[in-house]
Amino acid sequence: MNGAGEGARWAMHWDEVAVFDANSASIGFDEYELMKAAGEALAGEVAKNSGEGDVLFLCGPGNNGGDGFVAACSASLAGNRVSVLSSHESSKTMISSRAREMAAKELPIHVWPETPEGDWTLIVDCLLGAGGPAEGTELRPPIIEVTNWATSTGLPVISCDIPTGLGGPDSLQPIRTVTFHSPKMGMSESGCGEIVVSDLPWPAEVRNCGVGDANRYPSMDSEASKGDRGRLLVVGGGPYHGAPILSGMAAARSGCDLVHVAMPEQASSRTKWPPSLIPEILPDSEFLTLESVGTLSSFVDSGRSPDAIVIGPGIGREGDSMEAVREVLSVSASKSIPLVIDADAISALPKGEWPPGLIGVAT
């Protein structure tokens, strides 16, 4: 894998691209500048691999196709004969439509099933990117028709951001994939060829929580029933009672249907409980001890078993609280319940390693 610049990078979920794009737009950054940067980076890689040979761009209806329209007109390919085949009559986003209009001023755009003629040496796949169907999903017409035709040519392919159909039965098999900012989940050399990571000029602030982060959560279903959006158990409190309440309220406000908050008796009695939270009183008086582990285990095994657990807010480190936390971690791992380990509970984790079988994150 080549490329990647400075700053924290991780394998991005496909939907995170939309999060970053929306955060960027909300602070006034022109999304078209991002598309131009992606297109120019793609064109540079295409130029390296095509020499002076003819190049065919396959452009889809979304922003991945927009990247392709920009790249097809790049000065990097001034020495190449470039053809463009679009899968759809029009583009579906404002910035991809803008890129298409700009490209149409310089190149003829052929629309499937009309195919251009050329003695191509390379095909550039810009059909579907991070905004396309989930990994492993079967492609639908006309995209599948275009990919089948492209495969039948036997020509080498370079993919833009994510190979079209990655992980599915109809995927294009590129020799190289030019992806942006960081690799995406599911990418490997077996499905993507050589992976080249190119930076985008996203402002650093896009990593901060912004309006785009709302896209991380499933949209509301008007016909949903209570509990369809999950059940959460918050285990905390003892010396402090505010932190577990704030954690529970944050979960409820983000859309979780049923939020249970379990605290020792004294912490619970000091609390003014909001109606959106369900109190679960632990047998401990002042702070979490091993005595409460059985109660929590019974809750997990009951018909109210949580879909996830948060442990640690306001919990402190008194007595054997950390040993009790370790037992809860073990219960969570045995039941494959995702866990958020917060605040003092992080001290219960083994140093330098993650507990085997535990699904979760430390915050």
pLDDT digits (tens, 9 = 90+) for 98-109: 999 999 999 999
CB 293 within 8 A of CB 280: no
Q: Which two three-digit tokens encode residue 82?
A: 């470039």
User: For residues 165-177, b (16+ Cβ closer than 10 Å) or e, as one string?
Assistant: bbebebbbbbebb
Whether the predicted pLDDT of 327 surpasses 70? yes
Cis peptide before 113 (omega within 30 of 0): yes
* Residue 176 DSSP SS3: strand
CB 200 within 8 A of CB 37: yes
Q: Which two three-digit tokens encode residue 222?
A: 């008007």
What DSSP element (H or E) covers 260?
strand 258-263
Question: Cα(212)–Cα(221) distance, rounded to whole angstroms?
Answer: 19
* Residue 7 DSSP SS3: coil
What's the whole-model pTM score?
A: 0.74
Domains of the chain: 2-212 (3.40.50.10260), 217-362 (3.40.1190.20)
CB 85 within 8 A of CB 56: yes
List all residues 6 or more positions away from 43 whose beta carbon is below 8 Å from its beta carbon. Answer: 70, 71, 72, 74, 76, 77
- Mean pLDDT calculated for residue range 82-107: 97
pLDDT at 5: 44
Question: Cα(339)–Cα(362) distance, rounded to whole angstroms?
Answer: 8
Q: Which two three-digit tokens encode residue 309?
A: 């657990």
Beta bridge partners of 197: 3, 179
Q: Which two three-digit tokens encode residue 46?
A: 């295409």
Work out the number of other CB atoms within 10 angstroms of the CB of residue 80.
Answer: 21
Work out the number of other CB atoms within 10 angstroms of the CB of residue 299.
Answer: 19
Beta bridge partners of 158: 124, 176
Question: Cα(296)–Cα(302) distance, rounded to whole angstroms?
Answer: 10
- List the single range of 16-30, 36-50, 164-178, 215-229 with lowest mean pLDDT: 215-229
Span 261-308, pLDDT tens digits: 999 999 999 999 999 999 998 999 999 999 999 999 999 999 999 999
* pLDDT over 70 percentage in the chain: 97
- The Cα angle at residue 14 between residues 159 and 247, in degrees rounded to 5: 165
Mean pLDDT of the chain: 93
Q: How far is CA 141 from the centre of its chain?
A: 26
Whether the predicted pLDDT of 2 surpasses 70? no
Question: Cα(126)–Cα(61) distance, rounded to whole angstroms?
Answer: 9
Span 158-209, pLDDT tens digits: 999 999 999 999 899 999 999 999 999 999 999 999 999 999 888 888 888 8
Question: Cα(86)–Cα(111) distance, rounded to whole angstroms?
Answer: 5
Whether the predicted pLDDT of 83 surpasses 80? yes
